[in-house]
Amino acid sequence: MTAIETRIAAGLERAFAEKGFAEPNVEALRDAAGVSLRTLYKYAPSRDAMIRTALEHRHRRYIAHMFDDLPEATDLALSAIVERIADWMKQKAAHGCLFHAAVAAAPHDRDLRALLQRHKSEVARRAAEATGLAERETDLMLIIEGLTQSWPLLGDAAVESARRLGLGLRSAA
CA distance 160 to 6: 35
Query: Which residues, including other chains, have CB under 8 Å from residue 103's CB and lie 6 or more apart?
Result: 109, 112, 113, 116
- Per-residue pLDDT at 166: 93
CA distance 142 to 139: 5
Domain boundaries, the chain: 1-68, 69-173
**Residue 94: what are its φ and ψ, rounded to 5°?**
-60, -20
Query: Which residues, including other chains, have CB under 8 Å from residue 11's CB and lie 6 or more apart?
Result: 29, 32, 33, 34, 35
CA distance 154 to 164: 15
CA distance 126 to 153: 26
What is the full per-residue pLDDT of the chain (173 aa) written as tens digits? Answer: 899 999 999 999 999 999 999 999 999 999 999 999 999 999 999 999 999 999 999 999 999 999 999 999 998 999 999 999 999 999 988 788 999 999 999 999 999 999 999 999 999 999 999 999 999 999 999 999 999 999 999 999 999 999 999 999 988 87
CATH class, domain 1-68, is mainly alpha
pTM: 0.93
Q: How many residues does the chain have?
A: 173
- Per-residue pLDDT at 173: 78
